[in-house]
Amino acid sequence: MKANDYQKQALRTLNPSLSKSEVLINGVMGLCGESGEVIDLVKKHLAQGHELNREKLAKELGDVAWYLAETAYALDYDLESIFQMNLDKLAQRYPDGFEKEKSMNRNDETDYVK
């Protein structure tokens, strides 16, 4: 499945009564909430001795993907464009792959063109 196909199918379950600004708010709040659920599973595994439930973690990542698709839609972007923009940014930041020195001394202002 391609990312844009996922986004199109996922958005079938978007609340149609929401305005674009409400979709944006719901999307970013959902990203925060679902990311919190992801880290909570990892925290319980690392700090509390719980067995890591990989399937539950994968399903929570699916929820993160849904809210990412929603947020991108609210900004009038498709997921493949978002993913390509991220790859372009990483290629500029780390043209030869990850380097600790570049990570420690990067200028975030050059990452985003307005």
Query: What pLDDT does 15 receive?
Result: 97
Query: What pLDDT does 82 receive?
Result: 98
Query: What pLDDT does 109 receive?
Result: 60
Using CA atoms, how far apart are residues 74 and 91, in angstroms rounded to an integer? Answer: 26
Tokens representing residue 107 in the block: 């200028």
Query: What pLDDT does 110 receive?
Result: 56
Tokens representing residue 11 in the block: 């958005």
DSSP for residue 16: T
User: pLDDT 10s digit of each residue in the chain, 114 long?
Assistant: 999 999 999 999 999 999 999 999 999 999 999 999 999 999 999 999 999 999 999 999 999 999 999 999 999 999 999 999 999 999 999 988 988 888 888 776 655 554
Query: What pLDDT does 69 receive?
Result: 98
Q: What are the backbone dihedrals phi and psi of residue 95, each rounded to the nearest 5 degrees, phi first?
A: -60, -25
